[in-house]
Amino acid sequence: MNNLYDYPANDMEREKASNGYLMSLLAVMVGLPFPIVNLLASMLFYFSNRKSSWFVRWHCTQTLVSQLTLLVVNAVGFSWSMAILFGDETLSNKYIAYMLTILLFNLTEFIFTISAAVKVRKGEHVEWWFWGPLTNALCKPPKETTILS
C-alpha cells in the first residue's frame, strides 16, 4: 500500500496525527508574536513521533513543512515590526499591507489546520496544496507497507 487515502489508520494513529495539527494550533495561540514558537512545537511533536506509523509521520511532516513556510513569512513580519519599534523603520502602507497578507495566510492555515485535525481524527487523509506533494516527497512509505500492497 503506498496510498494514504486507503490507509486503515487505527484509533491511536488517528489521535496522534490529529494531535500534530492541534499542537501547531496551540503554538499559534501561545506564540503568535514569536513565529519560532510554532515551529518549535511542530518540530518537537515531529521528532517525538518519527518512529510512529507512516500515517502519523506523514501528517506530522505536513504540519512541520507548513509551519516552516509560515515561519519564513512571519519572521519577515516580526523583524519588520521590531525595526519599526526599536530601529529606523517607520510605519508605512507597505508594512500594513505585508502584515495583512501574512495575517490572511496565517488565518487560512489556521482554518485548514482545524479542518485537517477534525478529518484526520475521523481517519480521513488530507493533503494540502503544495505541502501535500512536498510531504509525499519527504515522507516515503515504509518498505514493508509497499510490499504488502
Partner 1 sequence: MKKILFQFVVLAIVFAAAFYGFSKIDFMKHLHLQNISRKTENKIGDLIIEGIRKSNKEIDDDSVTHVLTVIKNRICTANAISPDDITIHLVLSGEVNAFAIPGHHIIVYTGLIEHCDSVTELCGVLGHEMGHIQLSHVMKRLVNELGIGILAAVASNGNSQVVGQIIKILSSTAFERKQESEADAISVRYLQQARINPTGFANIMQKLADMHPDTPKEMEWISTHPDSKKRAETTRSLINPDQHNYKPVVSDDEWETFKNAATAK
Contacts with partner 1, residue ranges (CB under 8 A): 73, 85-86, 88, 90-94, 96-98, 100-101, 104-105, 129-130, 133-134, 137
- In a 13 Å sphere around the CA of 109, the CA atoms on its Cβ side amount to 28
Rounded to a whole number of angstroms, the minimum distance from the CB of residue 114 to partner 1 is: 20
CA-wise closest residue to 65 among 131, 110, 116, 127? 131
- In a 13 Å sphere around the CA of 47, the CA atoms on its Cβ side amount to 5
Residue nearer to partner 1 on the CB measure, 12 or 137 = 137
Residue nearer to partner 1 on the CB measure, 88 or 144 = 88
Rounded to a whole number of angstroms, the minimum distance from the CB of residue 113 to partner 1 is: 16
Rounded to a whole number of angstroms, the minimum distance from the CB of residue 85 to partner 1 is: 8
Cα separation, 127 vs 4, in Å, equals 10
Residue nearer to partner 1 on the CB measure, 2 or 52 = 2
DSSP 8-state symbol, 139: S
